[in-house]
Amino acid sequence: MRIEGRGLGSLSRWFKVLQLLLPIILIGIGVLHAVSTLIGAGFDAAINQFLYPFIFVTSGLVLSDFNRRRKDLN
């Protein structure tokens, strides 16, 4: 099914941009959270708060790996 106009093409382009930027954004949030917790609350609190940056960094790496593997298949 083809839709006339720019709608579908530009949406596909934005989706590709989002796929490239999302892993970088997630990893950045995780690293910033870890550093700010370490500076603001000390090392013990950073160990306790490690779960949140770990989730962000891991999800960013998984998305990045998924994007790379998908490119290899195409």
- Identify whether 60 is part of a domain: yes
pLDDT tens-place string over residues 30-71 = 778 777 777 776 666 656 666 677 777 787 778 777 777 777
- Identify whether 57 is part of a domain: yes
- Identify whether 2 is part of a domain: no
Domain encompassing residue 67: 43-74
- Identify whether 27 is part of a domain: no
Whether residue 6 has pLDDT greater than 70: no
3-state secondary structure of 29: helix
- Identify whether 47 is part of a domain: yes
The enclosing H or E element of 6 equals: none
Q: How many domains does the chain have?
A: 1
Is pTM beyond 0.85? Reply is no
Residue 9 half-sphere exposure, CB side, CA atoms within 13 Å?
5
Whether the Cβ atoms of residue 60 and residue 24 lie closer than 8 Å to each other: yes
Tell me what pLDDT residue 57 has: 77
- Eight-class DSSP state of 66: H
Residue in the block written with tokens 């370490």: 38
- Identify whether 64 is part of a domain: yes
